[in-house]
Structure 1
Amino acid sequence: MSRRRSLRSRLTLLVTAAVALAIAVCAAVCWFLVRGELLGQVERSLDVPKGPQGVEWIEQYCSGAVVGRMPPPPRFQLLQVIDAGGGRCVVGTTGVRVVPSDRTLAGAPEGRGEFRDGVTDDGAPVRVLVRSVGSGLAVMEARPLAEFQSTLTTLAWILAGVAALGVVGAASAGLLVSRTALRPVGRLAEAVEHVARTEDLGTRIPVEGTDEIARLGASFNAMTAALAGSRERQRRLIADAGHELRTPLTSLRTNVDLLLRSENTGRPLDPAAKRRLLAGLKAQFEEMSTLVGDLLQLSRPADEHEPYIEVAFHDVVGSAVRRAGLRAPDTPIDADLESWYVHGDPAALERAVVNLLDNAVKFSTGPVTVRLGDGELTVRDHGPGIPADELPYVFDRFWRSPSARSMPGSGLGLAIVAQAVRDAEGEVAVENAAGGGTVARVRLPGSPARG
C-alpha cells in the first residue's frame, strides 16, 4: 500500500494541476481563435471574377483567345473552370489543378459562392471557393493551405512551450503557496506534538489575522487553556480532598490506637468512655462517607446523570423539608410551596435543596422560611449572615468561612447545590437578608402546570 502524500505535496499538486489546466484551456482557445482568423484571411483573399464580363473572359481564356483587359489570378491562387461535362480548364500559369469531387460540383451556388476544402493533384490541401457563373460553368478558386498549416504548427509549438513553462511555474508557485499557507499549520502540528510529548498545557500558538488558520490556532489555545484549567481544578480537588480527609483519618487512627492499647495492656476502658469513643468513631466514619459521596458527586462528568424527566419541584422541596426536619427537630421550618414543574434529575435536585436546608438549620437561631413561587425557591435563615467579602466564594469547593471552620462540614454542600442547579439550567445565589441572616435563591426554568 503506497504511502499517503503529505498535505503540502497534495496542495502543490492541486495548484499545479489547476494552473496547468487553465493554461491548457487558454492555449487551446488561443490556437482555435488564431486558426479561425487565418482561415478567414485565406477565404477573404479568394475572389472569383463576377458578372458577364468575368464569364466572357473565362470562356475566351479557356478557348485559347488572348484577353488583355483582365489579368490572370495571383500566383498563390488556383483558378479552375469546370463545365457541365466535367471538363476542366486551369486559369493561370501555375498548372496546378484542384481535384474536383461530386460534392464540389453538385449544386455550386451562384452569387458569393461557398467555401469548401479540397486537394490538388499531388495531395496538397487547399481552400476552395466554388461558384456558378452561368453558361453551365462552375468556377473553383483555391488557395494552398501549406503556409496556413505551417503557421498553425509553429503557433502550436509556441503555445506548447508556453504551457510547459507555465506548468513549471505553476509547480513552483504551488510549492511556494503551500509552504506559505501551511506554515501556521506546521506550527500548530509542532505545538500539538510538543503537548503530546511533554504534556505542557501552557503551550500557546501566536494568532495572526482572522482567517481559518488563525481561528484554528485560537481554538487550539482555548482547548489547551481549558485542559489546563481542568487539570488545575483536578489538582486542587485532590489536594483539598486530601486535606479534608487528613483530619478524620487522624482522629480515627488515634481512637483505634487507643482501643488497641487498652486491649494490649490489659487495662480496659471505662464502659462509658468506650461508648463515647465508639460513638465518635461512628460519627467520623459517617463524616468520611459523606465527604467521599460529595467528592464523587462533584467529580461526576456533566453528561453522566440519570435521564432528565419532568419533576414536580414542589414535591422535591417538600421531601427535602421533611428530611431536614428529621435531622434538626429543634429548628422549625416554615414552608409555603406552589406548584412548579421542571426537567431534571429528581435525586440531584432533592440533594441540593437538602444541602441548602442543612446550611440554614446549622446557622439559624430561629425558624427557617422556605418559599416556592413563580419558579423561584428561597431558603431564609436567621443566623449571623455572611460577610460581604466572602459571598463570592460560597459556591467554591471546600471553601468555608473562617467563623464556621469549627463546625462540622466539608465545604462541599453549596458546591453540590451550584452543580445540580447548573445541570438543570437554573441559577442560584446567596445573599444577606434584610434584618439579619441569609437567603438562598434558586430559579429553575419550568411551568406551574404539568407539561
Structure 2
Amino acid sequence: MSAVLRRLRGLPLRSRLAVLTAAAVAFAVAAVAVTCWFIVRGQLYRQVDDDLRDSVSNISPSDYATVVATCSPSPSTDNRPRPAQIYYVQVVKSDGTVCVWPNSVGSVKTTDGDQEIAASSDPTPRFRNGTAGDGTSVRVMTRAAVTAGPVRGVVRDLAITSAVPLDDTTRTLNRLALVLLLIGGIGVIGSGAAGLWIARTGLRPVDQLTETVEHVARTEDLTVRIPVEGDDEIARLSASFNSMTASLASSRELQQQLIADAGHELRTPLTSMRTNIELLTRSEETGRAIPPDDRKALMASVKAQMTELAALIGDLQELSRTGLAGSDGPLKVVSLHETVRTAVERVRLRGPELTLDAELAPWYVRAEPAALERAVVNLLDNAVKFSPPKGTVEVRLMRGTLTVRDHGPGIPADELPYVFDRFWRSPTARALPGSGLGLSIVARTVEASGGEVALAAADGGGTVATLKLPGAPTPPPEIP
C-alpha cells in the first residue's frame, strides 16, 4: 500500500486527480453493482422459494402413504404426476431414509438438518442451496410433511424435500454480473477520461501561474501579471500573486531609490572631505605651509563633514533594519511622558538659547523604548533647528497626543506632503545640517507602534507636529 502511495505521489497533479477520480468512481460503481446484484439475487431466490412453497401445498395423505409404502431411493416411472414445476421431490424419514417421489427427476442429497425437521415435525419451510444426486445445483426447501385436503395435519417423523434446478437463476445472475461489469468498466474509463479533462481544464490557471513564476525567477521581471477571471480559489491565488509581484516591484523601486538617494547624499560630504584632504596633502608634499587660520578652518570642515557622514550612515542603518520601528528590540510598556521629558533634556543641549516649554500628562504605550525615544528626539530636533534665536518650542502631551510647536518660518503648503519622504529636504533648509531622514524615521517608528504623525502650519506662524499613539493614562499589563 505504501509503495502505491509513493508511486501515486510521484505522478503529476493532473494525473493524480484523474486516478483519484477514477478510483472514487470505481469504488462507487462497484458498491452499486454489488448491491444491485445481491438485490436481484435475493429477489430471484425469493420467487423460487415462493414457487417451491406453493407447489407442495396440495399433497394428500394418500400420496405420502403411497410414497412411504413403496419407498424407493430412486425415481420410478409409474406415471404418477409430480407437483407442478417441481423437478426433485422426496420424503425424508427421521432415521435418514429417503423415499423419492414417483416421476421425480432424481434425488437430492440430504443433510442432518432434514432429519431434524422430520423428527421435530416443524411445518416451517427451510430453504438452502443443495446438490442433486446427479450433481445439479438446486434450490432446496425442506419442511415437515403437511397433508392437504379435508384432513389437514402434520405427518410425524416425515419431512418433504422439494428442489428446483438453479441453472436459469445462475445464468441470469451471471449475465447480470457481466452487464454490471461492462457498464462499470465503461463508467470507470469514462470517469478517468473526464477526470483527466477536468484536471487539465481546472489546472490551466495553475499552469499559467507556474509559467509566470518560473519566468519571474528566470528573468526577475516583476512587471508580469496574471489575468484574473472569476472569484474562485484560482482567481484569488492569481490576484494574490499579482499583489505580491506588485509589492516586490514597489519594494525594489524603493530600494533603488534609497540607494540612489543615499549615494547622492554621501557624495556631497565625501567630495568636500576629499577636497580638503587633498589640500592638506598637497601642502605637505610641496612644503608650502597653509596659513594657520586656513589650516584650522580646513580641519574644522573635515571634522564637520565626518560628523555629518557618520550621522547619515547611522540614519541609513536605522532605516535598513528589519523589525519593529527599525529595531530588533521587543515591545515593552513605555511611559511616553518620561520618554518625552528625557528627549526634551537631550534636545535642550542642542539649542541652549531656546526655551522648551513642556507640559506632559501621564500616558503609557507599547513600543520599543530606544526607537520611540529616537523618534521623539528627531521631532524635537526638527523644531529646534527651525526655531528663531531665543525662540520658544512648546511641547504638550495630553491623552496620548504629543504636539511640538515652533515659531520658525513654517513649511509651505505645497511641501507638506513630502516632509516624511526619505532624503527630502526643503529648498530653504538645504544649507542647514541634516540628511533628510529624521522625519522619515519618526513616521516609520510611529506607524509601527500603531500611531500616526503629521505636520501642519501653526496659527500665527511656525509649524506644529502632532504625534498620536494608542495607550492609556495608567500602565497596561506587560506583554507575556
Runs of 5+ in structure 2 lacking a partner? 1-5, 71-79, 147-153
Q: Secondary structure at the match of 1:372?
A: strand
- Residues 370 and 378 in structure 1, CA contact (< 8 A), matched pair in contact too: yes
- Residues 125 and 145 in structure 1, CA contact (< 8 A), matched pair in contact too: yes
Give, in whole Å, the separation in 2 of the partners of 1:85 and 1:297: 108
Partner of 1:211: 232
- Matches of residues 91-240 of structure 1 in structure 2 within 5 Å? 91-108=101-118, 110-111=122-123, 113-132=125-144, 133=146, 134-136=154-156, 137-240=158-261
Q: Secondary structure at the match of 1:379?
A: strand
Q: Deviations over 1:82-118 (max 9, x none)?
A: 3445443333524311122221231356555222332
Give, in whole Å, the separation in 1 of the partners of 2:93 and 2:266: 123
2:105 pairs with 1:80: no
Partner of 2:302: 281
Give, in whole Å, the separation in 2 of the partners of 1:27 and 1:227: 56
Give, in whole Å, the separation in 1 of the partners of 2:184 and 2:102: 44
Q: Secondary structure at the match of 1:310?
A: strand
Instruction: Tell me how far 1:362 sits from its aligned partner.
Output: 1.5
Q: 1:48 to 1:112 in 2, by over 3 A?
A: farther
Give, in whole Å, the separation in 2 of the partners of 1:342 and 1:82: 101
2:13 pairs with 1:7: yes
2:442 pairs with 1:417: yes
Q: What amino acid does structure 2 have at the position aligned with 1:39?
A: Y
Runs of 5+ in structure 1 lacking a partner? 65-69
Q: Deviations over 1:411-441 (max 9, x none)?
A: 1110010111122222211112222211111
Q: What amino acid does structure 2 have at the position aligned with 1:322?
A: E
- Residues 86 and 162 in structure 2, CA contact (< 8 A), matched pair in contact too: no
Give, in whole Å, the separation in 1 of the partners of 2:401 and 2:205: 50
- Matches of residues 48-63 of structure 1 in structure 2 within 5 Å? 48-50=55-57, 54-60=60-66
Q: Secondary structure at the match of 1:42?
A: helix
Q: Deviations over 1:182-205 (max 9, x none)?
A: 111111111111011000011111
2:327 pairs with 1:315: no
- Matches of residues 304-343 of structure 1 in structure 2 within 5 Å? 304-343=327-366
RMSD: 2.2
Partner of 1:259: 280
Partner of 2:378: 355
Give, in whole Å, the separation in 1 of the partners of 2:48 and 2:393: 109
Give, in whole Å, the separation in 2 of the partners of 1:314 and 1:8: 62
Q: Deviations over 1:305-341 (max 9, x none)?
A: 1122222222211111111110111111101112222
Normalising by the residue count of structure 2, what TM-score does the alignment of the two structures yield?
A: 0.87
Give, in whole Å, the separation in 1 of the partners of 2:102 and 2:179: 37
Give, in whole Å, the separation in 1 of the partners of 2:130 and 2:267: 108
Select between 184-193 and 137-146 the one with higher mean Cα deviation.
137-146
Select between 42-51 and 181-190 the one with higher mean Cα deviation.
42-51
Partner of 1:67: none
Instruction: Tell me how far 1:130 sits from its aligned partner.
Output: 1.8
Select between 158-167 and 324-333 the one with higher mean Cα deviation.
158-167
Q: Secondary structure at the match of 2:471?
A: coil
Q: Secondary structure at the match of 1:208?
A: coil
2:460 pairs with 1:435: yes
Q: Deviations over 1:244-267 (max 9, x none)?
A: 112112211221222223233322
Q: Residue 33 of structure 1 is aligned with which of 19, 35, 39?
A: 39
Q: 1:261 to 1:275 in 2, by over 3 A?
A: same
- Residues 314 and 340 in structure 1, CA contact (< 8 A), matched pair in contact too: yes
Identical positions, percent: 54
Give, in whole Å, the separation in 2 of the partners of 1:84 and 1:410: 118
Normalising by the residue count of structure 1, what TM-score does the alignment of the two structures yield?
A: 0.93
Instruction: Tell me how far 1:48 sits from its aligned partner.
Output: 4.3
- Residues 383 and 436 in structure 1, CA contact (< 8 A), matched pair in contact too: yes
Select between 20-29 and 301-310 the one with higher mean Cα deviation.
301-310
Q: Secondary structure at the match of 1:327?
A: coil
Q: 1:92 to 1:379 in 2, by over 3 A?
A: farther
- Residues 104 and 116 in structure 1, CA contact (< 8 A), matched pair in contact too: no
Number of residue equivalences: 445
Select between 231-240 and 251-260 the one with higher mean Cα deviation.
251-260
- Residues 397 and 411 in structure 1, CA contact (< 8 A), matched pair in contact too: yes
